[in-house]
Amino acid sequence: MPLFIIFALVIAFIAIAFALQNNTIVTINLLTWDLQESLAIVLLGTLALGVIIGLLVTLPTIIKRGWRTSRAKKQAAGLENQLVEKEREVSSQSHKVESLRQSYQRLLQALNLTDANTRLLHSRLIHQTLTALLYQMKQPPLNEQLQSVALLTLQAQPAQPDSGFSPQQTAALWAAIAQRIQHNITVDTWLYSDGYGRFMCTLTGFDIKAISQYAETLQSVLTERPLAVQGGRQISVDVSIGGVIADRDHPTESEQLMLDKAQQALEQAQQRGRNRIRVIKVTD
């Protein structure tokens, strides 16, 4: 605002100086009219008339631009309202999913199907799960979600094994790993634990590349930052992952073969060094 006032004062000063220095009387002829006015007034009046004509010419464009701006603001406001509504719906659905997950968790615990420490399905159930999934994969009609069955085996251990953990801290570490994995898996993934740092998960509908990427994601969420255990202690972990996949082009009916191949892939990953991943086909 001060700059605008200063600019207006400068223009006014120039106009006054121009009027004082150009006060010669001139005659203006327009059709049947004859006018005699000061040269400064004639020039300033012509300038003002030109400005007014210019404003009138650009006025429709300015009005259209204002309408467009107003319409764009209304559309943006509408989209923001839709986004807020969608976020509410997503939040509501997430809450429902979490409630359902907790309900299933309580049911599984009541049936004594989960590991007491990690609250994941006990690893002894993996045989039944693989048997059922392999059977469903080959049953017509063919379901795209069951075009493949994969098994990932994760072996976790403290990055510094000689740190002297108490049994309580070790159990808390396995529980913390289980909790972090649960927060970073797809809804249709089933997790299992033996209670001693080995975790397994079954997935369906992925190809071998997607399974490898899935394994990388799980490894990353466990190793990118330390895990908090009892007493506020922060523990970094190493995670080796071995995986196996069976699909309609590479089928098997043996859940034991799947388990053996996953164990083989895990051992190969561990032989390659820390935090390694190895995923193979069941026929490899």
Which amino acid, one-letter code, is at 252? T
Which amino acid, one-letter code, is at 82? Q
Q: Give the residue from 23, 27, 43 showing the smallest Cα distance to 35.
A: 27
Higher pLDDT, 76 or 54: 76
Residue 85, SS3 per DSSP: helix
Identify whether the C-beta of residue 240 lies closer than 8 Å to the C-beta of residue 153: no
Give CA–CA dist 106/119, Å, rounded: 10
Residue 168, SS3 per DSSP: helix
**Do the domain assignments include residue 102?**
yes
Rounded to two decimals, what is the model's pTM?
Answer: 0.67
> CA–CA distance from 210 to each of 148, 153, 205, 246, 284 (Å)?
11, 16, 9, 13, 18
The answer to whether residues 128 and 250 belong to one domain is yes
> CA–CA distance from 91 to each of 64, 88, 97 (Å)?
40, 5, 10
Close Cβ partners of 143 (under 8 Å, ≥ 6 residues apart): 136
The answer to whether residues 93 and 150 belong to one domain is no
Phi, psi angle pair for 221, to nearest 5°: -70, -20
Out of 37-51, 163-177, 198-212, least confident range: 37-51
Buried b (16+ CB within 10 A) or exposed e, 88-121: eeeeeeeeeeeeeeeeeeeebeeeeebbebbbbb
Has residue 28 got a pLDDT over 60?
yes
**Do the domain assignments include residue 83?**
yes
Using 50, 70 and 90 to split pLDDT, how confident is the model at 19?
low
The answer to whether residues 91 and 209 belong to one domain is no
Has residue 148 got a pLDDT over 60?
yes
**Do the domain assignments include residue 84?**
yes
Q: How far is CA 125 from the centre of its chain?
A: 33
Phi, psi angle pair for 200, to nearest 5°: -135, 150
Strand partners, 26: 37
Average pLDDT over every residue of 126-149: 85
Look at residue 7 in the predicted model and tell me its pLDDT: 66
Long-range CB contact pairs, 211-220, < 8 A, 24+? 211/150, 211/152, 211/243, 211/245, 211/279, 212/243, 212/277, 212/279, 214/152, 215/152, 215/241, 215/243, 215/277, 215/279, 216/277, 217/184, 218/152, 218/154, 218/181, 218/184, 218/185, 219/154, 219/275, 219/277
Give CA–CA dist 20/42, Å, rounded: 13
Residue 187 tokens, joined: 């809804």
Which CATH number goes with the domain that contains 126?
3.30.70.270
Average pLDDT over every residue of 186-197: 84
Domain span at residue 255 reads: 121-281
Look at residue 162 in the predicted model and tell me its pLDDT: 61
The answer to whether residues 132 and 268 belong to one domain is yes
Q: What is the pLDDT of residues 39-66, one digit of tens each?
A: 667 667 777 777 788 777 887 888 888 8
Using 50, 70 and 90 to split pLDDT, how confident is the model at 75?
confident
The answer to whether residues 221 and 127 belong to one domain is yes
Look at residue 258 in the predicted model and tell me its pLDDT: 93
Using 50, 70 and 90 to split pLDDT, how confident is the model at 140?
confident
Q: HSE on the CB side for 104, CA within 13 Å?
A: 10
Q: Which residue has the tokens 């509501």?
A: 92
Q: What is the pLDDT of residues 88-127, one digit of tens each?
A: 888 888 788 778 777 877 887 788 888 888 888 898 899 9
Q: What is the pLDDT of residues 234-264, one digit of tens each?
A: 888 999 999 999 988 888 889 999 999 999 9
The answer to whether residues 154 and 102 belong to one domain is no
Has residue 86 got a pLDDT over 60?
yes
The answer to whether residues 138 and 273 belong to one domain is yes
Percent of the chain past pLDDT 90, that is, above it, reads 26
The answer to whether residues 220 and 239 belong to one domain is yes
